[in-house]
Amino acid sequence: MKNPVQQSALDQTPGKKVSHALDTQVDYLAQSYRDRAGTYDLDVGRQGYHGPIIVSELAAAFQTAYLAKERAVITILDAGCGTGLVGRQLKRLGFQLIDGFDLFEEMAEKARQTRIYRDVRGDVDLNGPLSDYSNASYDITVCCGVFAQRHVRPGGLRELVRVTRPNGFIIASTRKSYAEATCFDGEVRRLQDAGVLIAAHCLGDARYYQGNAHYWVFQMPDKASAPTEERL
């Protein structure tokens, strides 16, 4: 039987509300992450969390296949970096210039303590504009476990597109249940029709954590084929 800490270590599927006393999304997330930042790695590790390794290995494969720059000089933004599990995998694969942000300062501080990241910011909400981050500043943006129920709406993808360079990649996981409930693929289609991203690849129904997820790879168009006015 799962204990309550294990149950709330990662995003929950609908119907597994942690407490009836929690009314808002932020309260829910705070109990799942801010208050458990110290035990997050242990909790998810015990149950086989495959997200960080799959997202990082996709980043490495697409960098090798399509990006001209050497891995060591590729800039990566880890959106919703949590305690830094994705950063650890990216470092293992040879990436060195990794920035991260998270909604909760307590999670961001854990990521900082890994000393893997160049810069980590807390109190950054992907449901709003990423005002600290400039247009087209990262070669690859990764987002693991963040497009999830009560976390980030599909519209958050637009900000990831904005901060990623032409020809660069976004690699993001979505739980199957989240993708279905939120019509994530509808948002992908809208952005693709607007010419701001290309859905390059999807590892569908793959191992994640207590169930499966889709792993999406989006490529940004090059400057020549991007819309001439503001990209978004």
Binding site for ligand SAM (CB under 6 A): 10-11, 29, 33, 51-52, 80-82, 85-86, 102-104, 107, 124-127, 144-146, 151-152
Looking at the Cβ atoms of 60 and 85, the one nearer to ligand SAM is 85
CB nearer to ligand SAM: give 5 or 73: 5
CB closer to ligand SAM out of 125 and 185: 125
**Residue 148 near residue 209, CB atoms below 8 Å:** no
Q: Which residue has the tokens 């799962």?
A: 2
- Nearest-angstrom CA–CA distance, 84 and 67: 24
Q: Is the CB of residue 143 less than 8 Å from the CB of residue 80? A: yes
Q: Closer to ligand SAM at the Cβ: 56 or 63?
A: 56
The least distance separating ligand SAM from the CB of residue 66, rounded to whole angstroms, comes to 23
Q: Output the smallest distance, CB 146 to ligand SAM, in A.
A: 4
Taking CB atoms, the residue at the shortest distance from ligand SAM is 82
Please say which residue, 36 or 167, places its beta carbon nearer to ligand SAM.
Answer: 36
User: How far apart are CB 223 and ligand SAM at their closest, in Å?
Assistant: 28
Query: 82 near 51, Cβ under 8 Å?
Result: no
CA distances to 11, 45, 79, 189, 199 from 152, rounded to whole Å, are 11, 23, 11, 18, 19
For residue 65, what are its two tokens? 């296949």
Q: C-alpha angle 44/212/189, rounded to 5°?
A: 120
Nearer to ligand SAM, 70 or 123 (CB): 123
Least CB distance to ligand SAM at residue 98 (A): 12
Structure tokens of 146? 């963040």
State the nearest-atom distance from the C-beta of 152 to ligand SAM, in Å: 5
Smallest distance, ligand SAM to C-beta of residue 135, A: 19
Taking a C-beta distance cutoff of 8 angstroms, is the pair 171, 55 a contact? yes
Between residues 102 and 187, which has the closer beta carbon with respect to ligand SAM? 102
What is the nearest approach in angstroms of ligand SAM to the Cβ of residue 85?
4
Candidates 198, 164, 201, 197; CA nearest to 75 is 164
| Helices marked H in 81-228 | 85-92, 105-113, 157-163, 176-182, 184-193
